[in-house]
A and B are shown apart, each in its own frame.
With several copies, the nearest count.
Chain A
Amino acid sequence: MAGDISQSATPMDRLWQDSEARGTTEPALVIDVGGFEGPLDLLLHLARTQKVDLARISVLALAEQYLQFVESARRVRIELAADYLVMAAWLAYLKSKLLIPQQVRQDDGPTGEEMAATLAFRLKRLEAMREAATRLVNRNRLGRDVFARGAPEHIPERNGASFEANLYDLLHAYANLRQRQAVTQVTIERRKVWSLVEARELLTTMLGEISDWTALQHYLLDYLPPADRVTATASAFAASLELVREGKLEIRQEGAFQAIYMRRGPGRPGGATGE
Chain B
Amino acid sequence: MAGEREPVRAALDLEAERIAEALVFASAEPVSEAFLLERLPRGVDVRAVMARLVRLYAGRGVNLVRVEDRWAFRTAADLSFVIRRDETESRKLSRAALEVLAIIAYHQPVTRAEIEEIRGVQTSRGTLDVLMEAGWVRFRGRRRTPGRPVTLGTTPRFLDHFGLEEIRDLPGLEELKGAGLLSGRIPPDFRIPVPVSADDLSEDEDPITQLDLEELGLLTPGGGEGE
Contacts and interface: CB of A to CB of B under 8 A. Distances in A.
A83 B122 contact: yes
Contact of A165 (B93, B117, B184, B201): B93
B130 interface: yes
B208 A68 contact: yes
A170 B102 contact: yes
A116 B184 CA distance: 16
B29 interface: yes
B106 A78 contact: no
Contacts, number: 396
Contact of B120 (A35, A41, A59): A41
Nearest to A138: B171
Interface string B187-202: 1101111111110011
Contact of B119 (A40, A51, A149, A159): A40
B99 A174 contact: yes
A59 B193 contact: yes
Given A137-B98, A173-B98, A182-B186, A155 B209 contact: no
Most buried by B among A81, A112, A116, A154: A154
Given A58-B205, A139-B162, A173-B95, A168 B133 contact: yes
Q: Is the interface of A mostly helix, strand, loop or mixed?
A: helix
Interface in A90-111: 98-99
B138 A148 contact: no
Interface stretch (A184-192, A210-218, A240-248, A255-263): A184-192
Nearest to B217: A31
Contacts of B89: 144, 154-155, 157
B99 A148 contact: no
B93 A169 contact: yes
A34 interface: yes
B165 interface: no
Contacts of B205: 50, 58, 61
B222 A79 contact: yes
A179 B186 contact: yes
B219 A155 contact: no
25 contacts: A12-B211, A12-B213, A22-B95, A33-B224, A35-B223, A59-B195, A76-B213, A76-B218, A78-B220, A116-B195, A120-B192, A126-B118, A151-B28, A156-B31, A157-B89, A159-B160, A161-B90, A167-B138, A170-B102, A174-B98, A174-B103, A175-B181, A181-B118, A186-B187, A275-B184
Given A31-B218, A166-B138, 17 more contacts: A11-B208, A33-B223, A58-B196, A113-B192, A122-B120, A135-B171, A136-B98, A136-B105, A144-B84, A150-B26, A154-B84, A155-B29, A163-B133, A165-B98, A177-B118, A177-B119, A274-B184
